[in-house]
Amino acid sequence: MFDAKRTVPRSPLHDERFEHDNCGIGACVNIKGAKSRSTVENALKIVENLEHRAGKDAEGKTGDGVGILTQIPHDFFKKVTKPLGIGLGGEREYGVGMFFFPQDELKRNQAKKMFEIIVEKEGMTFLGWREVPCNPSVLGERAVECMPCIMQGFVKKPAGVPKGIDFDRKLYIARRVFEQSSDNTYVASLSSRTIVYKGMFLVGQLRTFFTDLQSPDYTSAIAIVHSRFSTNTNPSWERAHPNRFIVHNGEINTIRGNYDKMLAREENMQSEHLRDQLYKVLPAIHPDGSDSAMLDNTLEFLVMSGMDLPLAVMITIPEPWANNKTMSQTKRDFYQYYATMM
């Protein structure tokens, strides 16, 4: 970008004073697992200080994307859903979905009804919808033009399903069936454990757009934030981070080959956890997603299929091992074994 005030750089090729690129990532975690308001506040402060790691358009009011992932704030949701007649039950007894619906009322109602039907068919109970309070006045013109209708859907855990990953696996199956049935709605998150708030924001707009994030009752033991600097894909509401599992900075240059190999192997895939439900979640990767979204799809699929998260991360993002003479043989054998599958 041209800057008339720019002085002669100290280097003919680069001047670090004018650096403004790459995504920004931050996290705030209570290592004892204690939920607090300060964890969320500190994470929001982190992302608000990442302006130098966030992209924006020429008007300067529409960002490439900013978001936050937290644990589900149970006390907050108990409070805001009570006037809606939604009985949530205990913590982790329900799942929360963050939906980006079309603004067209007819299409939105069709998508909502489709999700409700799918939830019931998957053996769960749909509890109700909540329209997420938003403040579009803080956004730039481009962000407002493509802004979705943002709603939260609540799903009750079946009595015979344990809390945690088992319930999240049922929510995952329901979401994948819904995604393949409705191409005009994006599900930012659907889980009994975590939730994602994100959009086409500047770093200072996340907190002011989503008034939920301003509530003293909104607490969490973890908070992961991301400010996007778009490089190989155009900005959009759904391409903002966090994704459902990851935040990411950089480009995956082998993404097309990775996608093709995953697709080719799906005919031979098996899972002792998904079993006869496996076909409902395939293809595991959305072909129109960004490279980060495809990695997120892959990690989510592996974890929901029964793999531990650390193992899934190690085999999807391996160290440079082939010619690494300093690596132990055991570790090299590990990576070589999984290289045949991933």
CB 109 within 8 A of CB 150: no
Q: Is 23 a catalytic residue?
A: yes
Name the catalytic one among 23, 28, 134, 146.
Answer: 23
Give the 3-state secondary structure of residue 90.
Answer: coil
CB 177 within 8 A of CB 280: yes
Please choose, from the candidates 59, 21, 151, the residue with its C-alpha nearest in 3D space to the C-alpha of residue 97: 151
Q: Is 306 left (phi over 0), alpha (psi -120 to 50) or beta?
A: left
| CA-to-CA separations, 263 to 9, 179, 184, 267, 294, in angstroms, rounded | 48, 17, 23, 8, 12
Residue at token pair 């400010």? 227
DSSP 7-61: PPPSSSS--GGG---S-EEEEEE-TT---BHHHHHHHHHHHHT-GGG--B-TTSS
| CA-to-CA separations, 124 to 224, 259, 304, in angstroms, rounded | 29, 32, 18
CA distance 97 to 195: 7
> Where in the sequence numbering do the catalytic residues fall?
23
